[in-house]
Amino acid sequence: MERLFSAVIKEIDKSHTLSAIRRGLIMVIPILMLGSVAQILQNIPIKAYQNVLHQLLDGAFLQMLVFIYDAAFGMLSVYIAFSITNCYLSSRGMSINYVFVGSLTTVASFFAVSGVSMDKISSGALSTKGTFSAIFCAIIVSKLYVLIINNVKLPFRLYADGVDLEFNDAIIAMIPLISITMLFSMFNYFVCQIFQTESFQDFYIQIVNAIFIGRGSSFVNGFMYIVLSLLLCFFGIYGSDVLELASEHIFRSRLATNFINHSDVATQKSKAILSKEFLNVFVMLGGYGTAFCLLISIIIFSRRNINKNLTRICAAPMIFNFNDLLAFGFPIIFNIYLLPPFLVVPAMAYCVSYFAMYFDLVPMITKEVSPTVPIFISGYMATGSIRGMILQLIILLTGVLIYLPFVRAYDESKNRNEAERMEELTNILKKAEEEKAEIEVLRIPGTPGALAKCLSADLESAIDHEEIELHYQLQYDNEYNCIGAETLMRYIHPIHGFIYPPLVVKIADEAKILSKLERYLFVQAAKDYRKVKCVAGKPYKISVNVTISTILEKDFIDFLRQLKGDYDIADREMCIEITEQMAIKSDEKFEEALGAVKELGYMIAIDDFSMGSTSIKYLQNNQFDMVKLDGSIVKGMMNNERSKEIILSIVHLAKSLDFKVLAEYVETEDQIEELMKIGCNYYQGYFFSKAVKVNDFLAVIKAEKEGKSKLKAEFEKKNAMKNSL
């Protein structure tokens, strides 16, 4: 079952249609929150507050809240139609001009099927009642629009001064706009004529509500209403508004009857259990889907930090029974994992509440309660008894337990899917690196590009909150003494885990925060090195990688100067590494910048060196203090004589030009012996140590200082055996 759910979720993500509906609904969240806040402020159930609200500015502030609410929810279907079309057309690669006109085409078509005319607007036609028509029009119009645009070619181009491209796009877009709007108008006309209704929207609302008309205010009818309204909500349609006629029929307020019969045992059976208060107070706790249960289940049981962060935003509006942010943000909409509890928990709440009142375990509802009154307060106000609060608590706890396994399953599914997405993005970059192809990861279409954009925002936040760590690849000499370490960036994302470091650098570069990232890494390295010197009592060399663009920044030299002063870094204790590929792209300004860096007392190393002609030029100019051999040469030296010859040539060059040579990717003792024979006396690799955190680095230094280094002991033991032979 879980595999089926996961497959369905993936298909939704891949489907342009379903993905556009989901993303379009998400994009109207700001409007929903605006309207929700306005309604909450209007209905806070405190008498003193209401008095102030009605008197403030002679009621002008209250009227402003009404205007805001009407602007948000009174036109919600229009926003949804526009938003979904925008998302769909953008996903199909349409230009911004075509996307805009296409969205207007959907709005015009939506007006056509909603009974909107110059002299009248159907009641609620553009509000939450019209969400089905909005979604229906958005998808059908979008598909027709793409089909027409892709097959329409003007035999000539029209020009207008300054806006020729926009003018031509507008002319082309007129064809689908006119034809599609006329098609929907004709469709609405025939529906009105055949079924004698005011509009297509009124027709489908009547059809859906007809299921309940004439069936009475019964337990079964109420149960069917709960299930159907929630199914509509699951697909992004405001079920309670679409089924408003049915709701008025089933849950019409009969509180006066309950109040009169409150103490009359003889008339118990005449009591009306079902009412709008019953629905709001005991069934839809926190909003449709009894969402308060989901909220608490996420807070307690979800292992994903992103979900917990979402609950912090959602909690406040949900106290007042608005759950749109959770519904679209988590999401509940189109989330097949949450469909079972989304239906079962409200059905459970309905049954438990109904029979609790039927058997007099909880008093009948006798008082009108605003839908925005928070849980427990509403339970007491509606029933006038603490038993109403206890009933809400029982529903809440039971609902949390029902949601629990589904929240866990969804967590695991998202973790798997996100791991696959991250692997896809990483593989795209690795392939480009292998092929030495230029690529912009933030411009990759589809899911990988969207993920890269999310990571760029997360990365900047991680820098600001110091969530990026440094690990250290220790470096040793030919007597197995630790001489320093190279800093290696490690970004552990709260959702995606370890992020491939070159991907982090690439995203930072494209997001224009690479300099910020590299300066942050310098500061972290300086902080850690201060600890190293404190433990060691002697200098070491700490290497930090940096790109040419950062080195060439005007204030970078000032930054390095201040870094030395702030963290008491002596000359030649910190080394700046650049790759050979970067050096090849350099120019005279870069040479000047390197000279300024050296004057400050920093060492300079060239990484991944393989005898490139440009790099040799810089070696001849005495720009570099150390050369780090390309890992592929070191790895291949045991089976390739040419690799040995290259290393030997570099070592001879080092002796004549006075720079050191360090071999990376040293993994075996045989490699070390061969490198020693050649004359390469500095090493870095898994033979000595994997990349470690600063505390492990400190432990190594402390062990050396106390004469307890295992590596040093092994070296001395082998050396003694050689001497004895």
DSSP track, 495-533: TTEEE-HHHHHHHHHHTT-HHHHHHHHHHHHHHHHHHHH
Q: What rounded mean pLDDT belongs to the chain? A: 84
Is 216 in the same domain as 203? no
Instruction: Please report the pLDDT score of residue 46 as a whole number.
Output: 79
Is 149 in the same domain as 233? no
Q: Are the C-beta atoms of residues 76 and 127 closer than 8 Å to each other? A: yes
Instruction: Please report the pLDDT score of residue 130 as a whole number.
Output: 85
Its domain, for residue 325, covers 211-414
pLDDT digits (tens, 9 = 90+) for 19-74: 788 888 888 888 888 888 888 888 877 788 888 888 888 888 889 988 998 888 88
- Residue 333 has phi, psi (to 5 degrees) of -60, 130
Is 409 in the same domain as 480? no
Residue 540, helix vs strand vs coil: coil
Element counts in the chain: helices (H) and strands (E):
34, 9
Is 22 in the same domain as 144? yes
**CATH number of 712's domain:** 3.20.20.450
pLDDT digits (tens, 9 = 90+) for 348-391: 999 999 999 999 999 988 888 888 888 999 999 999 999 999 99
Is 351 in the same domain as 247? yes
Instruction: Please report the pLDDT score of residue 586 as a whole number.
Output: 57
Is 262 in the same domain as 362? yes
Within a 10 A sphere around the Cβ of 368, how many other Cβ atoms?
Answer: 13
Measured at the CA of 398, the angle between CA 397 and CA 403, to 5 degrees, comes to: 100
Instruction: Please report the pLDDT score of residue 166 as a whole number.
Output: 67
Q: Are the C-beta atoms of residues 250 and 274 closer than 8 Å to each other? A: yes
- The answer to whether residue 173 is domain-embedded is yes
- The answer to whether residue 421 is domain-embedded is no
Last residue within a domain, chosen from 394, 414, 434: 414
- The answer to whether residue 20 is domain-embedded is yes
- The answer to whether residue 203 is domain-embedded is yes
* Non-local CB neighbours of 428 within 8 Å, separated by 6+ positions: 439, 441, 444, 448
Instruction: Please report the pLDDT score of residue 267 as a whole number.
Output: 45
pLDDT digits (tens, 9 = 90+) for 192-207: 889 888 888 888 888 8
- Residue 282 is classified by DSSP as I
Is 216 in the same domain as 192? no
What single letter denotes the amino acid at residue 606?
I
Can you tell me the distance from the alpha carbon of 599 to that of 72, in angstroms, rounded to the nearest whole number? Answer: 63
Last residue within a domain, chosen from 170, 188, 207: 207
- By C-alpha distance, which of 346, 327, 351, 355 is closest to 399? 346
| Poorest-pLDDT segment among 552-561, 652-661, 710-719 | 710-719
Q: How confident is the model at residue 255 (pLDDT cuts 50, 70, 90)?
A: low
Q: Structure tokens of 682?
A: 């500095």
pLDDT digits (tens, 9 = 90+) for 259-268: 555 555 444 4
- The answer to whether residue 633 is domain-embedded is no
Q: Record the pTM.
A: 0.68
Instruction: Please report the pLDDT score of residue 557 as a whole number.
Output: 93
Q: Structure tokens of 550?
A: 């950062």
Number of structural domains the chain divides into: 3
Is 169 in the same domain as 70? yes
In residues, how long is the chain? 725
- Residue 198 is classified by DSSP as S
Is 141 in the same domain as 16? yes
- The answer to whether residue 580 is domain-embedded is no
Is 406 in the same domain as 449? no
Q: How confident is the model over 273-290, as a mean pLDDT?
A: 88
- The answer to whether residue 564 is domain-embedded is no
- The answer to whether residue 615 is domain-embedded is no
> Between the CA of residue 474 and those of 583, 605, 689, what are the distances in Å?
24, 16, 6
Number of Cα atoms under 13 Å in the Cβ half of residue 228: 20
Is 222 in the same domain as 238? yes
Is 245 in the same domain as 180? no
Last residue within a domain, chosen from 207, 230, 252: 207
